[in-house]
Chain A
Amino acid sequence: MAQTAFAPWTDPDQKPIIEFRNVTKSFGDFTAIHDLSLNIFEREFFALLGPSGCGKTTMMRMLAGFETATSGHIFLSGKDIGHVPPNQRPVNMMFQSYALFPHLSIWDNIAFGLKRESKDKAFIGDRVEEMLRLTRLTKFAKRKPHQISGGQRQRVALARSLAKAPKLLLLDEPLGALDKKLREQTQFELMDIQEKTGTTFVIVTHDQEEAMTVASRIAVMDEGNLVQVATPAEIYEAPNSVYVADFIGDVNIIEGRATQPGLKTGIAWAEGQPPILATPAKSVEAGQSVHFAIRPEKVTIDVEKPDRPNTFRGKVIDIAYLGNISTYHVELAGGQMIKAQMVNARRLANRPITWEDEVWVGFTDTAGVVLEE
């Protein structure tokens, strides 16, 4: 049986668990968040993505209660939580530094929040054991934080923040301190745990790959504004701005002018070259200045002129060999550089294209995105 896609944001009847309504946050005369509105739904794995200083951490700290909004409201399950202190919110946070209590054992760290609710001993014991099993830490219960590895500490921090079964779990760069291999493995663990516990996760990260992997939706932020909020696939395939296209993944951006109005257009991009045929998502004006964004893997490279809607002649300047794929930097007429990515399905010796070769790059008329501005 096929699963129905999880997409509460498309259903107008769904009530969001978190609602930012016209939230502004200033520190002195610096405005960290500009009049921002955002809905996050129950069971979502929501990622706030952006470069450092974009306001993503401020958003998270407002959710945790460490910062209060200068104006606007934040609702949690329909209740305004603007002035609820952090210790009274059904929200827990996993800190970037993990913030494990160094004087307490792993067991006591996880039990810390439960003990504050003065639940009975048996309940606390069961809950801690459950968390230890969930994060595979049972063996380490008696150790102190400095006696375990970085990856284990990360799991303790996760177990501790999940122990109180919060409505909302905040993760501040949760995998930043782990090495690449462990990080990739942990990303899948996080998704697994999120699914098992059914908790709503909000993750803050500057790593676009991490956001793409774990999140159901991503909010790309820039200087205190939401630039685009969409699923990873939409963000990647249909970025709404040059900023998003450029921030997520690798992209070729070509400036030009629309030659025809409407939903099928050409883009004049260089003297004496045929225009790029493209399909804008929104109708464009003739003569309007546009950006054409196309991912390198959607550009092919051939020795013979291929039968594709867009073909241009160029010269290979550089080849980046990454093992599974190679990226070719091709200089088109007029000096425009374009990156084309090819899967290395054949072994090196059998591939005919090399440096300085005259080649044809090609792509379809729907492969790229036409961006205004």
Chain B
Amino acid sequence: MRRFTLIAIPYLWLLALFLVPFLIVLKISLSDIALARPPYMPQLDPAAGWEGLKSFFSELDFENFAFLTTDDLYWKAYLSSLKIALVSTFLTLLVGYPVAYAMARAPEEWRPTLLMLVILPFWTSFLIRVYSWMGILSNEGVLNQLLMWLGIIDTPLQIMNTTTAVYIGVVYTYLPFMILPIYSALEKLDGSLLEAAEDLGCSRLEAFWLVTWPLSRNGIIAGCFLVFIPTIGEFVIPSLLGGSDTLMIGKVLWEEFFSNRDWPVASAVAVVLLLILIIPIVLFQRNEQKQREAEG
């Protein structure tokens, strides 16, 4: 009985803070827009009893989901988000792997400090850090002024309000999520494995591709998912750095909720986004599970 109570606490937590809100959003996505407060119909009237419940369910339909297929905006936004998430995941890997590798190869007494430096940005607000990128990337920003002062360019580069700025923002923000799992995989790597590979005839580079890379694969996969999953739904970075140029589903969602005040359509967008994300999340879980089994 005590064991049951112990397990029940996290399940109740998940139920109250994840499943119930999701069911509310799902319900809204099946409702119709209305000029009311809250701005959708129908509402469940508990006083009407069984009849009220029946009419409540009969008024729910998939109209909003059907609507999402009629307007190009939505599937384009989903695709564009997918593309941006994929490209930025790849870029983050490109930057993150060498950093993680260097950290894992650093002298042991240096590693906690380096690890600290990777985590340090989390101590300031994410929003402030994105705003400071605006200060760096804008036409009058630090970067353009520096390049012009050095005489490399004559006119400021237009980086702000382009997809490039979004890539920079995403890579910067999510880099620790890529570095940490790769670092933890590389740090565990037994140095004698590389010596054994060399002893058996590998060059340093071959030893890297045949031993280091495959043995850090789980870290790479974990890092990629940790960057990819939140980037798809990312809203702050594209709206602050990407301007009107960048189409991402997170922004569409925000606009449906707050500009159009069309909660049912916005909820439908959110439900579809969740369905899309379930695939990589399940894959990620399976990777973690497999890794645990291999280690156990």
A interface residues, Cβ below 8 angstroms from B: 64-66, 85-88, 91-93, 95-97, 99, 101-103, 112-113, 116-117, 146, 160-161, 164
Instruction: Contacts A99-B190, A99-B192 given; indicate if A87 touches B199 (C-beta within 8 A).
Output: yes
Partner of B203, one of A65, A87, A112, A146: A87
B211 interfacial contact with A, CB 8 Å: yes
Partner of A95, one of B196, B202, B203: B196
Contact in complex: B192, A86 (CB < 8 Å): no
Which of chain B's residues have a CB closer than 8 A to the CB of A91?
199
Instruction: Please tell me which one of the listed residues A97, A101, A103, A164 contacts residue B201 in the complex, with CB atoms under 8 A apart.
Output: A164
Q: Which residue of A lies closest to B206 (CB)?
A: A116
CB atoms of A86 and B206 under 8 A apart: no
- The CA-CA distance from A95 to B200 in the complex, in Å, is 12
* B: contact size bracket: 10 to 19
Query: What is the chain A residue whose CB lies nearest that of B214?
Result: A103
Which residues of A lie under 8 Å from residue B193 when comparing CB positions?
A: 99, 101
Q: A329 to chain B: closest CB distance in Å?
A: 44
Question: Is A103 in contact with B190, judged by CB distance below 8 angstroms?
Answer: no
- The answer to whether A87 touches B215 (Cβ under 8 A) is no
Judge whether B294 is part of the interface by a CB distance below 8 angstroms.
yes
- Beta-carbon contact of A112 and B200 below 8 Å: yes
- Which residues from chain A contact B195 at a C-beta distance below 8 Å? 64, 66, 86, 93, 95, 99
> Given known contacts A97-B190, A103-B214, is B202 in contact with A87 (CB within 8 Å)?
yes
Interface string of B186-218 (1 = CB under 8 A from A): 000010110111111111001000110011010
Residues of B near A92 (CB, < 8 A) are: 199-200
Chain A positions within 8 Å of B198 at CB level: 85-87
Q: List 15 A-B contacts (CB under 8 A).
A: A64-B195, A86-B195, A87-B201, A87-B202, A91-B199, A92-B199, A95-B192, A95-B196, A99-B190, A101-B196, A101-B197, A113-B201, A116-B200, A146-B294, A161-B199
Q: Given contacts A86-B195, A116-B201, A164-B200, list 5 more A-B pairs with CB under 8 A.
A: A87-B199, A92-B199, A103-B215, A113-B200, A161-B200
Which residues from A are CB-within-8-Å of B201?
Answer: 87-88, 113, 116-117, 164
Contact: A93 with B215, CB < 8 Å?
no
**Residues of chain B within 8 A of A146, CB atoms compared:** 294
10 interchain residue pairs of minimum CB distance: A113-B200, A116-B201, A99-B196, A99-B192, A86-B198, A103-B214, A87-B201, A93-B199, A95-B192, A87-B198
CB distance from B208 to the nearest CB of A (A): 13
Instruction: Return chain B residues, CB-CB under 8 Å to A102.
Output: 215, 294
Cross-chain contact A97 with B192 (CB below 8 angstroms): yes
> Which B residue's beta carbon lies closest to that of A64?
B199
Chain B residues within 8 Å of A86, by CB: 195, 198-199
A101 to B199, CA, bound (A): 13
Q: Mark B214-239, 1 if CB is under 8 A from A, else 0.
A: 11010000000000000000000000
A103 to B210 CA separation, bound complex (whole angstroms): 10
Residues of B within 8 A of A85 (CB): 198
Closest to B195 in A: A66
* Bound Cα distance from A66 to B192, whole angstroms: 11
Q: What's the least CB distance linking B53 to chain A, in Å?
A: 56
| Chain B 152-199 residues near chain A, CB threshold 8 A | 190, 192-193, 195-199
Residue of B nearest to A91 (CB): B199
Query: Taking A95-B195, A95-B196, A146-B294 as contacts, is the C-beta distance between A101 and B211 under 8 angstroms?
Result: yes
Inter-chain contacts of B196 with A (CB < 8 A): 93, 95, 99, 101
A92 → chain B, closest Cβ, in Å?
6
| B66 CB → nearest A CB, Å | 48
Most B CB atoms within 10 A — which of A86, A96, A146? A86
A117 CB contacts on chain B under 8 angstroms = 201
User: Considering the chains assembled together, what is the distance between the CA atoms of A4 and B291 in angstroms?
Assistant: 56
C-alpha spacing A276/B75, complex, angstroms: 102
Considering only CB atoms, which chain A residue lies closest to B294 in the complex? Answer: A146
Smallest Cβ-Cβ distance to B295: which chain A residue: A146
A156 to chain B, nearest CB (A): 12
* A95 nearest CB neighbor, chain B only: B192
Task: Assess whether B214 is in contact with A160, with CB atoms less than 8 Å apart.
Answer: no
**Nearest CB on A from B144, distance (A):** 47
Q: Tell me which residues across on chain B come within 8 A of A96, comparing CB atoms.
A: 192
Query: Chain A contacts of B206 at CB under 8 A?
Result: 116
| Bound-state Cα–Cα, A66 to B196, Å | 10
Complex CA distance for A96 and B195, rounded to whole angstroms: 12
Of all chain B residues, the one with the shortest Cβ separation from A103 is: B214
- B213 CB to closest chain A CB, in angstroms? 10
Q: Whole-angstrom distance between the alpha carbons of A87 and B202 in the complex?
A: 6
Enumerate chain A residues within 8 angstroms of B200, measured Cβ to Cβ. 87, 92, 112-113, 116, 160-161, 164
Chain B residues with Cβ below 8 Å from A97 are 190, 192
Nearest-Cβ distance from residue B195 to partner chain A, whole angstroms: 6
Point out the residues of chain B lying under 8 angstroms from A164, CB to CB.
200-201
User: B215 to chain A: which residues have CB within 8 Å?
Assistant: 102-103
Q: Least Cβ distance of A150 to chain B in Å?
A: 16
